[in-house]
Amino acid sequence: MLKLVTIILVLLGGYFLMKKLFELMGEGVAKTDQGNVEAIDKWADQIVAKILSKRLSITLAEAESLLKDSKDPSQKRRVEENLGSMLARFDRNGNEHKVCLMELIPGTDKVKQWEKKMARESLPAVVREEFMRSGKNAVTFPWVFLRQTEQAGNNE
């Protein structure tokens, strides 16, 4: 009887230990993915700040500040009026991955594009999942500035 109780206690202890380990691993993955998203956001924000700096004839620091001021409707409108529609396209070709930030330049038919190579592990989880789900080599999302909470996906 004592052996049975010991075995049950060991199994219960192992269960709770493994459960805690998986929870910690999940938190680590979530933190890593948040870091991946933040790295892409930072890269894109730098590009957009340069665009706004040029179009509005303001300093880069002023443009960066303008992007961060999402609570002021007049500042948000100023950004929207001077920035074309933005898309983020993630491409994969074998083991090579890249993100392309594309702007549909307002008032023209032109598209401007910036590219950055990335390791697969550096892609946000939603992008990796969409690659696996769709089987496609390109996944496109609208790029939302001023940290709006709306998110939508669109596949090529």
- Whether the CB-CB separation of 77 and 114 falls below 8 Å is answered with no
Q: 115 or 27: which carries more pLDDT confidence? A: 115
pLDDT at 149: 31
**Alpha-carbon span 133 to 109, nearest angstrom:** 32
Query: What torsion, rounded to 10 degrees, do the Cα atoms 69, 75, 80, 83 define?
Result: -80
Average pLDDT of span 72-91: 83
Q: Report the pLDDT value the prediction gives residue 14, as an integer from 0 to 100.
A: 40
